[in-house]
Amino acid sequence: MLRYLSGGVRRFGSQPIGEHARLNWEFYAVVNGRCGVLLENGEKRPLEERRLWVFPPHHVHGWHGERKTCQVVVFHCGSVPRQLEEAIPPLGYMERALTEAECLQVEALGHELEPDFHRRNSLSELRFDRAIIDLALLALNGTAVAGGERGPVDKRMMEKVDGAIVWFRRHLREQPKMEDVAAAVHVSPSHLRRLFMLALHQNPRTVLAQTQMEVALRLLAESDLKIESVATEAGYASARDFSRVFRALKGCPPSEWRRRLQPPYAEVA
């Protein structure tokens, strides 16, 4: 799901962005002018033009530039296709040069998504998913991807797993049980667990709990809903239950996390 979209002119020469961690996957493209990555250790990477960077969640980085302005397009999302995730170097990030035509493609993608991002409808999530796939293909263009193509059995398996996650996300308010999720994709709970272990190397309870938290984090970051409403929308039994799970994961209450998050998140582009 797309969680952040931005673009336009940046003045990193006079207004650099300091190093800090992003919560989500980040696609960052400079389509006109030049900018460079600031790394956690203080290293300034060279200025680049027509470049696409892909950063995994929690990667610490910032941006620097020159006196001239540059134009960027930025996308944040909760997850990316497996092939891209596996191509990211350990503790690193990916970058590749863009052609002029690819820069125009990225700009057009940002413009196309803007109406859906600001006023979402029943088709918005599909358009976001398509855009993330397009960005992943762009990032992986010319990169050898291990594993080869999925066979027919693998494809059916992934369709079941993806279908279970999508159905669960759509029914969070109803607090569905594992039996409900399995029934929605026409398998038994035990078979659903086998599919998740084969496809994602995680049991479904773990993945679905991550999905709940992903929805909660997005609502905390992008809405002014009260904590009780966030808990309801994300499928938790109560605000108290949500706060307990959140504190165990993030080390602070959701209200405090929201206060600390918003200023740096707003300047992330």
- Do 110 and 167 share a domain, yes or no? no
Task: For residues 100 and 161, give the distance between their C-alpha atoms in angstroms, rounded to a whole number.
Answer: 38
CA angle 259/248/41 to nearest 5° reads 65
Task: Supply the range of the domain harboring residue 215.
Answer: 152-266
The more confident residue out of 259 and 177 is 177
Q: Is the per-residue pLDDT at 149 higher than 80?
A: no
pLDDT given for residue 143 in this prediction: 62
Confidence tier at 66 by pLDDT (50, 70, 90):
very high
In a domain, 145, yes or no: no
Q: Please say whether the beta carbons of 175 and 198 come within 8 A.
A: no
Instruction: Give the CA count within 13 Å in the CB-facing half-sphere of 75.
Output: 31
- Do 90 and 23 share a domain, yes or no? yes
In a domain, 256, yes or no: yes
CATH number, residue 13: 2.60.120.280
- Do 202 and 251 share a domain, yes or no? yes
DSSP states of 116-130 as a string? HHHS--TTHHHHHHH
- Do 116 and 176 share a domain, yes or no? no
- Do 89 and 24 share a domain, yes or no? yes
pLDDT given for residue 261 in this prediction: 57
- Do 24 and 135 share a domain, yes or no? yes
In a domain, 146, yes or no: no
- Do 165 and 251 share a domain, yes or no? yes
- Do 76 and 163 share a domain, yes or no? no
Q: Is the per-residue pLDDT at 147 higher than 50?
A: no
Q: Which helix (H) or strand (E) holds 263?
A: helix 254-266
Residue the block writes with tokens 């309801």: 232
Q: Please say whether the beta carbons of 217 and 192 come within 8 A.
A: no
In the predicted model, what is the mean pLDDT of residues 79-101?
89
End of a domain among 140, 165, 185? 140
Look over the chain and give the mean of its residue pLDDT values, rounded to a whole number: 86
Q: Is the per-residue pLDDT at 263 higher than 50?
A: no
CATH number, residue 255: 1.10.10.60
pLDDT given for residue 154 in this prediction: 65
Residue the block writes with tokens 């134009």: 71
- Write the CB contacts of 95 (distance below 8 Å, at least 6 apart in sequence): 48, 51, 52, 53, 54
- Do 34 and 123 share a domain, yes or no? yes
Q: How many domains does the chain have?
A: 2
End of a domain among 120, 140, 160? 140
| pLDDT tens readout for residues 24-55 | 899 999 999 999 999 988 899 999 999 999 99
In a domain, 177, yes or no: yes
- Do 39 and 163 share a domain, yes or no? no
| pLDDT tens readout for residues 198-248 | 877 788 998 898 889 888 887 887 788 999 999 999 999 999 999 999 998
| pLDDT tens readout for residues 179-203 | 999 999 999 999 999 988 887 778 8
Task: For residues 259 and 266, give the distance between their C-alpha atoms in angstroms, rounded to a whole number.
Answer: 12
- Do 106 and 191 share a domain, yes or no? no
Coil, strand or helix: which one is 156?
helix
- Do 44 and 18 share a domain, yes or no? yes
